[in-house]
Structure 1
Amino acid sequence: MNANSLIILDFETTGLSPDNGDRAIEIGAVKLVDGVITDRFQELMNPGCRVSYFIEDYTGITNSMLSKAAPCGEVMARFADFIQGQNLVAHNASFDKRFLDSELSRISMDYDGQFACSLLLSRRLYQAAPNHKLGTLINYKGIASNGSFHRALYDSEMTAKLWLAMLNDIVERADIDDVPFSLVQKLAKTTKANIPKFLANCA
């Protein structure tokens, strides 16, 4: 499967770790087909507990908004259908994968795609970037945005634009016609020092 046909997702959550009881409060995702966004998914979800003022302030998602949202299980069941058969990407994928796995396990559902991390890939490709936060990389690559990060669908859309820019850079640097998903996974695990050699051997 090519790396330009997949789903890019982002969670907003009550905290940093489902192992500590944190829950998802919003999921946003875009579906890419041959590098074009063909579908979107965005829903708030009620975690069954109040979120902190910090999270309200950070995300703009209030307890009042969540009180009107469907329960996590209902939203995640719909999202499981949305992602079936697709590979997945997130910026700092280990975070989002933990919440995806945790929320789906609560409703005895699963998914069949593999994950790649746009954060790890950016660290290999853009070693001169000031840092590898999503907003920084969007500016670094000159991608237009309105700066409204920390809502799930917007972050997914911006990650998609960054992802496609990275794929384009791989095509140019490696002199190849397209980028298989497996190549991206290998590239993200390659040491920074070996990136030039890795790309030179792709052609």
Structure 2
Amino acid sequence: MRQRIAVIDFETSGITPGRDCRATEIGVAMVEDGRVVDRFQSLMNAGVWVPPMIEQLTGISNAMLKSAPPAHRVMRDAAAFVGETPLAAHNASFDRKFWDYELARLGLARRQDFACTLLLSRRLLPQAPDHKLGTLTRWAGLPAAGRAHRALADAEMAANLLSHLEGTLQRQFQLADIDHALLCKLQKVTAAKVKPYLRELQAKLVV
């Protein structure tokens, strides 16, 4: 049995959230027992200008955002959709800061930790050519969910990767129940100590 986890992805107008840099799209893929069971996606108009380079990367234009629902409404709906479900993202440090910033504008605060499929893949899939989401998706033979750098497609690919990582833990270390807390602990273990850490955990479960 695998715990239900909300995998999120933001497209944004820049790198660091602030007055002139905001989220432009959010996607959430709910994954449970190795498959995506629910989804949330919306463009979000925060009144910011999207630079041409980012518009070209994401395909999200300033014209598209003009007709998008306001950011505060989208984030309120996204927060309600996620609720208390544990969170994950690929390169979670990026998505976490936008999630926290947008929630703070609503007077809300995150209670859950983020599991990071980038950190986890570095520890569990060291043989991969690199640990970009697209590379890992192709290398592991996972489904391509749509255009890269669109929020829901990236969230679904990260959700599929998360399920693959959980399966890797189950197959290699016979860990029957993979919960979010274990993933968050594992991503903090140095790569060299991952196998000893998991073998010790496995031994405790056998005893």
Normalised to the residue count of structure 2, the TM-score between the two structures is 0.92
**Residue in 1 aligned with 2:10?**
11
Helix, strand or coil at the partner of 2:201: coil
Could you tell me whether the CA contact under 8 Å between 1:9 and 1:89 is conserved in 2?
yes
Q: Tell me the distance in 1 between the aligned counterparts of 2:201 and 2:173.
A: 6
CA deviation string 1:26-71 (max 9, x = no partner):
0001112333322110000012022111111000011111000011
Q: Tell me the distance in 2 between the aligned counterparts of 1:112 and 1:35.
A: 24
Helix, strand or coil at the partner of 1:31: strand
Q: Where in structure 2 are there 5+ consecutive unaligned residues? A: 203-207
Q: Tell me the distance in 2 between the aligned counterparts of 1:56 and 1:125.
A: 34
Helix, strand or coil at the partner of 1:201: helix
Could you tell me whether the CA contact under 8 Å between 1:10 and 1:28 is conserved in 2?
yes
Could you tell me whether the CA contact under 8 Å between 2:2 and 2:32 is conserved in 1?
no
1:190–1:144 Cα change, 3 Å: same
**Residue in 2 aligned with 1:25?**
24
Q: Percent identity?
A: 43
Alignment of 1:188-199 (within 5 A): 188-199=187-198
Structure 1 residue identity aligned to 2:141: G
CA deviation string 1:114-133 (max 9, x = no partner):
21111000010111212110
Structure 1 residue identity aligned to 2:4: S
Offset of 1:21 from its aligned partner? 3.5
Structure 1 residue identity aligned to 2:150: R
Q: How many residue pairs are counted as aligned between the two chains? A: 202
**Residue in 2 aligned with 1:121?**
120
Offset of 1:111 from its aligned partner? 3.3
1:86 aligns with 2:65: no
Helix, strand or coil at the partner of 1:38: strand
Offset of 1:147 from its aligned partner? 6.2
**Residue in 1 aligned with 2:73?**
74
Q: Tell me the distance in 1 between the aligned counterparts of 2:145 and 2:95.
A: 23
Q: Where in structure 1 are there 5+ consecutive unaligned residues? A: none
**Residue in 1 aligned with 2:37?**
38
Q: Higher mean Cα deviation, 172-181 or 154-163? A: 172-181
Could you tell me whether the CA contact under 8 Å between 2:11 and 2:25 is conserved in 1?
yes
Offset of 1:134 from its aligned partner? 0.1
Could you tell me whether the CA contact under 8 Å between 1:131 and 1:137 is conserved in 2?
yes
**Residue in 2 aligned with 1:106?**
105
